Structure 1
Amino acid sequence: MSLKIGEPIPKFKLNDKNGEVFTSESISGSAVIYFYPKNFTPGCTKEACGFRDAFEEFTEKGAQVIGISSDSEASHQKFAARYKLPFILLADTNGVVRKKFGVKSTLLGLLPGRETFVFNKERELVYKFESMNAKNHIGKALKHL
């Protein structure tokens, strides 16, 4: 079941690209948590670079940007290095956190979905957006912070 507006950030614990444990409790202020299918694919690279290019706008609004996919820590490390991504990438290799957020798969369940969640400083969901069109997520997230 997908998160509903007003619900809190689900509790989770995942490793970041450096193998460090990151928990949902460590999120302070507003947050944009986006789920994407796979590192190094055209759409996901476009989306990540869009968040990178707007990163200063997100930080000026007091928001953390967190990207989550089923890729490994090592893959995240390479992806972040190649595209100079300044934000947190988390490895949800078993899809547990994806399920907690209710992110659905597409293409008959073959492809993990692309969905962005915006949380206010009280850690409540204020906006969510689901679309495989990667370029729309950044502007919509900024608009709802």
Structure 2
Amino acid sequence: MRRLATPLVPRLAVLLLCLAMPVASGACGETQRPDGGTGLLEAGVQAPKLEATAHDGTELTLGSLAKPAVVYFYPADDTPGCTKEACAFRDIWSEYEAAGVMVIGVSTQDNESHREFAEKHEIPFPLVADTDKRWATAFGVKLRGGYAARVSFLLDRDGKVVEVYPGVDPGVHAREVLDDAAKL
């Protein structure tokens, strides 16, 4: 019985420490960012200067967009929640264009998967293939089983994070972000 109790004590101590520490502290599984921080980027900080070629050939350089942008991370193409979220952005795409706000979807799948997903659902905005998880890590987005958590970031025209949306409702999120972007 003593052998069973001994390993439990250290695990229990770690669990208690995790519960006692703030989530943003970086303890207990928060993503370590390349900038030295942990967890999700917070409002008020500059977004990382990342580059990518999206599924549709769009060359993206964060920090040089010169317009507000939504960078939304999602787990996987063509799954129910991710499809609902992408289609919600698509359905009010003309309002995003009129407001001058760019939408960028990011998942860890490759560009071929993104092309098929975008074609099937008529997605009009760029999808970034974050196969090396550079974007997710730079934004502090958790990865589970190689898939990014669902979280979005609203950036102003200078590339500064204005709002962070963890754990979004895929069906109403697009409207929520557009309403916030209209205040910029």
Higher strand share: 1
Structure 2 residue 144 is matched with structure 1 residue 94: no
Q: Greater Rg, structure 1 or structure 2?
A: 2
Number of residue equivalences: 142
Where 1:126 maps in the other structure, the secondary structure is strand
* Cα separation, partners in 2 of 1:20 and 1:66, compared to 1, 3 Å: closer
Which residue in 2 is equivalent to 1:84? 122
Q: In structure 1, what residue type is equivalent to 2:165?
A: F
Among 73, 88, 92, which residue is 1:35 paired with? 73
Which residue in 1 is equivalent to 2:159? 123
Task: Return the alpha-carbon distance in structure 1 between the equivalents of residues 103 and 150 of structure 2.
Answer: 15
Task: Return the alpha-carbon distance in structure 2 between the equivalents of residues 139 and 104 of structure 1.
Answer: 24
Task: Return the alpha-carbon distance in structure 2 between the equivalents of residues 87 and 98 of structure 1.
Answer: 19
1:67-118 deviation line (CA, Å, top 9, x unaligned) = 000111111111111111110111000111101001123xxx3352000110
Q: Which runs of 5+ in 1 are unaligned?
A: none
Percent of aligned positions that are identical: 35
Task: Return the alpha-carbon distance in structure 1 between the equivalents of residues 61 and 99 of structure 2.
Answer: 22
Where 1:118 maps in the other structure, the secondary structure is strand
Q: Which runs of 5+ in 2 are unaligned?
A: 1-37
Where 1:93 maps in the other structure, the secondary structure is coil
What stretches of structure 1 move > 6 A for 4+ residues in a row? none
Where 2:44 maps in the other structure, the secondary structure is coil
Structure 2 residue 96 is matched with structure 1 residue 58: yes
Q: In structure 2, what residue type is equivalent to 1:36?
A: Y
Give me the TM-score of the superposition, normalised by structure 1.
0.89
Higher helix share: 2
Greater relative contact order (Cα < 8 A, sep 6+): 1
Task: Return the alpha-carbon distance in structure 2 between the equivalents of residues 139 and 18 of structure 1.
Answer: 24
1:47-69 deviation line (CA, Å, top 9, x unaligned) = 00000001111111110000000
Partners of 2:71 and 2:152 within 8 A in 1: yes
Task: Return the alpha-carbon distance in structure 1 between the equivalents of residues 41 and 87 of structure 2.
Answer: 26
Alpha-carbon offset, residue 124 of structure 1: 1.3
Which residue in 1 is equivalent to 2:46? 8
